[in-house]
Amino acid sequence: MRSVALFALLVISPAWSVTPLPLSAQEPEPATLVVLDQVYEGVPALWTDPPWVAVGDWLKPLGLQWDSQRGLLVLSLPSGKSTDLPLPADSEKDKGKEGSSGPLVREVDGHPFVCLPRLCEVVSLRGVCSRNENLIRIGIPVLSAQVRSVTEGYLLEVQVRRPLNQSPKVRTLSDPNRAYIDLPGTLLTDDIALEETPAGPITRIRIGQFSQNPNIVRVVADCLTPVSSWLVGREREVGGTETWKMLIQEKERPSPWVGQVTLHASEPRRAWIVLPGAERFPPSIENRGKELIVALPATPLLPPVVAPLTDGPIASVHLTQRDEKPILIVSLRQPGWGVLQFDRERGFILIVEPLTGGRPGALLIVLDAGHGGKDPGATAHPKTVKNPLVEKVLTLDIALRLKSLLEKAGFQVVMTRSDDTYVPLADRVALANSLQADAFISIHINAHPRPGEKCGVEVYYWSPQSRVLAEALYSRLLTLGRGGNGVRVRQFYVVHHTTMPSALAENCYINHPEDAALLQQPSFRQKIARALFQGILDFFQIPETLERRRE
């Protein structure tokens, strides 16, 4: 790094049109170019003062592209529009100047070359050259780092000169205890403002160039005690700078927190909202037709970023309070529903889908007839029935009846088994997950080691998003008049591993004399199917009148 030179931020210079270099110019040599977090090998470079680099793919991470027709650089803006570089106002100032305050682009042997200092200035970046290593690095300058105390813990705030292309990574380490944030595509500069005021468990803040290839600056918070850390979000300032925030909590003092609520993506029939937070403090969701009410465990540390909402199922997202507790009101363009899933990297993800005015045509239900083939499930032969009852036979019969009801109402239905075959639990789950089904219903018949001791229905679920479905099914199953033993959270395989709302229904006891006598009647099995069907309609908030009309 003998000839390392920092490009100073320069006065914007005017001439940007392609003009030939002097004959004395050197021959281009292949160089390694590290642009933000991307590496480009063998890029032709002129090691003059200032250095020039041939236009190429390396411009893409900077949001730039070379317009060969017009012979100029075009910058893509966040709005989706683009602008030519440099701006016309700067072009006049540049005329007649050379070097780092001279033209942005020149032609060498018929190929356009870009002046690196000028480019860095125009797109607010910092460049570092190493002639010995044939290495040129272009990165985003880190401007400042500081710690701030908040109710939920301590916020480490790191400001960068322009928005990062990738989210930073946040980790904690022990021995000694510390938390750090890695900022991809960034370069360390001399003029960084580092506030080293100790706060809580944090004794000091350190900053360094963790990696030069690719460019990564690491900011470390040294701590007295073991800590947990999370990325909570970012704020973009008017001048184009961006501040990323990392929450640090002492492990012994966990408290609920919510990061920046962000619209992750929006498609015509599905939208994803990210709610960063700790798994142990989950939000809860209430489906109300055209509104989803998300009760948050804490007030978000940053304002939501949920625009633009030009299409997709969400009309607006509003953060407010109910009974002095923070809630998120997600207004939908038409009746829909939402589910919450947890992702270790991003936190909670709210998936929102429309019901398209009560048309269940787009809804896919996976029905799982319990057991099958070599696995008969429970068997019984109470005195009240003529032939022995076998669970796998009853579950398939009820599932087929339910399938018929759902299809008549316009649902799409896929069965995990349609005959007496053995299907491993993992395959049942994989089917539903790969199809991205809207609901998964597993149908079983219960049993007890002491025949006749228990009767009635039970419904099981695992994830919070499945609770509403389980309650809807249970509520309808109670209408069978056989009593109920409750809705319970249990880590049964099929409800644990399915990614959509899922429930396992135990529809009466095969070895209870009265339940068994009813189960052997096709009409009672039809009643069970009908109860499950109505529970599914309730869950999707599809008016029963619509279903009756179809019948």
Q: Is the dihedral of CA 14, 17, 18, 20 positive or negative?
A: negative
Task: Give the closest residue to 220 by CA, choosing from 257, 255, 188.
Answer: 188
Among 137, 371, 417, 512, binds other proteins (CB under 8 A): 371
Q: Check residue 506 for interaction with other proteins (CB under 8 A).
A: yes
Q: Rounded distance, CA 463 to CA 460, Å?
A: 10
Structure tokens at 169: 């990574």
Q: Check residue 474 for interaction with other proteins (CB under 8 A).
A: no
* Min dist. Cβ of residue 363 to other proteins (A): 26
Window contacting other proteins (CB under 8 A); options: 95-103, 110-118, 247-255, 372-380? 372-380
Q: Check residue 444 for interaction with other proteins (CB under 8 A).
A: yes
Q: Please, are residues 436 and 388 in contact by the beta-carbon 8 Å criterion?
A: no
Coil, helix or strand at residue 529: helix
* Min dist. Cβ of residue 532 to other proteins (A): 16
Nearer to other proteins, 229 or 416 (CB): 416
Q: Check residue 450 for interaction with other proteins (CB under 8 A).
A: yes
Window contacting other proteins (CB under 8 A); options: 38-46, 201-209, 492-500, 542-550? 492-500
The DSSP code for 239 is T
What value, to the nearest 5°, has the Cα angle with vertex 211 and ends 209 and 217?
40
Q: Check residue 281 for interaction with other proteins (CB under 8 A).
A: no
Nearer to other proteins, 146 or 395 (CB): 395
Q: Check residue 34 for interaction with other proteins (CB under 8 A).
A: no
Among 93, 204, 448, 467, binds other proteins (CB under 8 A): 448
Task: Give the closest residue to 510 by CA, choosing from 384, 389, 372.
Answer: 389
Q: Check residue 460 for interaction with other proteins (CB under 8 A).
A: yes
Question: Which residues partner with 170 through β-bridges?
Answer: 181
* Min dist. Cβ of residue 425 to other proteins (A): 5
Q: Rounded distance, CA 547 to CA 538, Å?
A: 11
For the chain, the maximum distance between any two Cα atoms, rounded to a whole number of angstroms, is 106
Among 157, 353, 391, 547, binds other proteins (CB under 8 A): 391
Residue 434 CB: number of other CB atoms within 10 A? 9
Q: Count residues near other proteins (CB under 8 A).
A: 31
Q: Which of 157, 506, 514, 544 is catalytic?
A: 506
Among 37, 353, 458, 515, binds other proteins (CB under 8 A): 458
Q: Check residue 453 for interaction with other proteins (CB under 8 A).
A: yes
Residue 374 CB: number of other CB atoms within 10 A? 9
Q: Check residue 427 for interaction with other proteins (CB under 8 A).
A: no
Window contacting other proteins (CB under 8 A); options: 181-189, 343-351, 440-448, 524-532? 440-448
Tell me, what amino acid is at 221?
Answer: A
Q: Is the peptide bond before 449 cis (omega within 30 degrees of 0)?
A: no
Q: Is 506 a catalytic residue?
A: yes
Q: Check residue 344 for interaction with other proteins (CB under 8 A).
A: no
Window contacting other proteins (CB under 8 A); options: 22-30, 144-152, 371-379, 515-523? 371-379
Q: Rounded distance, CA 298 to CA 283, Å?
A: 9
Window contacting other proteins (CB under 8 A); options: 75-83, 91-99, 220-228, 450-458? 450-458
- Cα torsion 517, 519, 522, 526 to 10°: value is 140
Which residue is listed with tokens 């790094």?
Answer: 1
Coil, helix or strand at residue 461: strand
* Min dist. Cβ of residue 175 to other proteins (A): 17
The residues assigned a catalytic role are: 506
- Residue ranges in contact with other proteins by CB under 8 A: 370-371, 375, 377-379, 391, 424-426, 444, 446-450, 453, 458, 460, 485, 488-493, 496-497, 504, 506, 509
